[in-house]
Every structure is written in structure tokens, then in C-alpha cells.
Amino acid sequence: MDLTTSESANALETSTITQTVLTTSAELPDQARSSLPDKPVIIIERAQSWGAVNLRELWAHRELLYFLTWRDLKVRYKQTALGVLWVILQPLLTMLVFTLLFGRLAGFDERTGGIPYPIFAFAGLLPWTFFSTAITNSGNSLVGSAHLITKIYFPRMIIPAAAVAAGLVDFALSFTILAALMVYYGVGVTWGLLLLPVLMILVTLLALGVGMLLSALNVKYRDIRQVLPFMVQIWMFLSPVIYPSALVPGRWRWVFALNPMTGIIEGFRAALFGRTQIEWNILAVSAAVTIILFTYSIFAFRRMEKSFADVI
């Protein structure tokens, strides 16, 4: 059979199938046809450029958030010799290096307000490690989940949110080491500890806002993957992780306070140790910057997500 005959046969077969389907649909009982809805049950439309977040849709996909978070945790420690111990070793080893270089050699241990430098540094590393890990993983999350984005529909915001949620699990494990260090150095618990949930909400919103914005930009501009580690490193030295904010000259304090991690890290130390007063003005600036950045990131993400499947 030549090519022309084959194409004619295929066309005849397709026409026969179509006619059969139409005949079968027409012969449906009136009761079956009446049970069909008059209007579409689900309508998928393109979101408005700066539309608000559909909270009902996010809540309907809450189980997907759980499974993506669990997937990120499993992939991160799969086929590793130490497994989840890396969560504890990373800030602990970094604290030891900082104690040797900055606590002993640079003399920062004399400027910590009576707080032993090891736990001073660890208390700063704890929120910072969560923040840096969260924005790094969430910034690369959309590109790493291209196989999901191009096949099925779900709120794309869940992907960077799952990366941030996985970082919260790491934070909880690392916090046990800080509690052990506080017991070892004889640092008691104060009423300021009640402020920790508020600070955790702030740093989580900040990580989610920065992570969503970077993940959306990374889909279109793959340079973000290269710039992100350098940005995180510079951001750490601009934050009071290894040094107290009192070392910053007074005329530069207002610029230093615009960094939202400044008020959050200093708030962590004040809430945990109670040796210093909480600087409410700096914490208020950090909260304001965090809320503004988080809100902008949500709307910017919604504006850009309509092209993810085409560009990624």
C-alpha cells in the first residue's frame, strides 16, 4: 500500500470513529443527558497581572505543600553518610570557626554584653542559616520543578513555600543545640522568650518573600543562580551575625537598620539571653520592611507566573 492509500485509510478510520462517538452521544438516554451540568464545573482563567492571592485555592492544595516539603527533605539528605546531622553540624562548625577568628583574635567576645561569644554567634547563626538556606533553595525551586510546572496546574507559589517550610524543620533541629549551649554556659530563660514566635514569623515571611521573588526572576534570568550565593555571603556580613550591632558607628545605624535581618537577629539575642534591651525601633523597621517586601513579592510573583510554563 502506497503513502496516498495509507493516508486515505487513516482519514476514513478517523471519520468513522468521530461519527460513532457523535451517534453514541446522541443516543444517550434523556436522564443521563439531563444529569450533565449546564455550565462548566471548573473554569481555568489567566490571573490578572496584579491580582490578589486566592487563599481558598492555596488551602485546597495544602496537602501538596506537605508532600513537596517532605520531598525536599528526603532529596536533601538522600545518600548522605551523616544524613540529618548536617543540619546540626553546619551552624555548629561555623560557630567554632567564628569563635576562633572573631571571638579570640578580633576581640569581639569583649563587646557582647557579657554573653559568651560561642552562644552569641550561634544565636545569630540560627536565624541566619535558616534564612540563607530558605532563600537559596526557594530561589532555585521553580527551575528544579520544571517537570511539574509544565504538566499540571496548581498554585506555583506552593513550590518556593515548600522550600521555606523544609528550612523550618532544620531550624527546629538546630535550636536543640542552642538550648544545650545555654544550659552549658548557665544562661537562664527570661520572659523575652515569648517574643521568639513573632520573630520566627517575621524571618519566615522575609525568607518567603525574598525566595518567591528570586524564584520568579530565576525562571527568566538564569543569572540569579550564579548571583545568589554571592548575594547571600555579602548579606551575612551586612547583618549582625558575627558581631554586635553596637560596633556600627552611630551615623550609619539608620542605614544598618534598613536591613530587615538586623532587627530580627538582634531581637533573637535579646529574647533568648535577656542581657540587652530589645531595640523596638529597629525591630519595627525590620517588620515594616519585611511586610512591604513580602507583599510586593506576592503580587510580582502572580504577575510573572502566567509565563512560567512557557519560559521554564
pLDDT tens for 43-68 read 555 555 445 577 788 888 888 888 88
The predicted model gives 190-216 an average pLDDT of 92
The predicted model gives 274-281 an average pLDDT of 78
280-302 as b/e: b if 16+ CB within 10 A: eebbebbbebbeebbeebbebbb
pLDDT tens for 251-269 read 888 888 899 999 999 999 9
CA 69 vs CA 111, 174, 224, 259: distances in Å: 40, 18, 23, 28
Percent of the chain topping pLDDT 90: 28
Amino acid at 122: F
Say if 218 falls within a structural domain: yes
Task: Please state the length of the chain.
Answer: 312
pLDDT tens for 135-166 read 999 998 888 888 888 888 888 899 999 999 99
Contacts of 108 (CB under 8 A, 6+ apart): 102, 117, 242, 243, 244
pLDDT > 90? residue 295 = yes
Say if 190 falls within a structural domain: yes
- Which range marks the domain in which residue 236 is found? 68-311
pLDDT tens for 80-133 read 666 667 777 888 888 888 888 887 776 777 777 778 888 989 999 999 999 999
Say if 239 falls within a structural domain: yes
Say if 37 falls within a structural domain: no
Helix axes 260-273, 280-304, angle to 10 degrees: 130
pLDDT > 60? residue 11 = no
Q: What is the DSSP letter of 306?
A: G
Domain count, the chain: 1
Say if 28 falls within a structural domain: no
Q: How far apart are CA 61 and CA 187, in angstroms?
A: 43
For residue 213 the three cell numbers come to 521573588
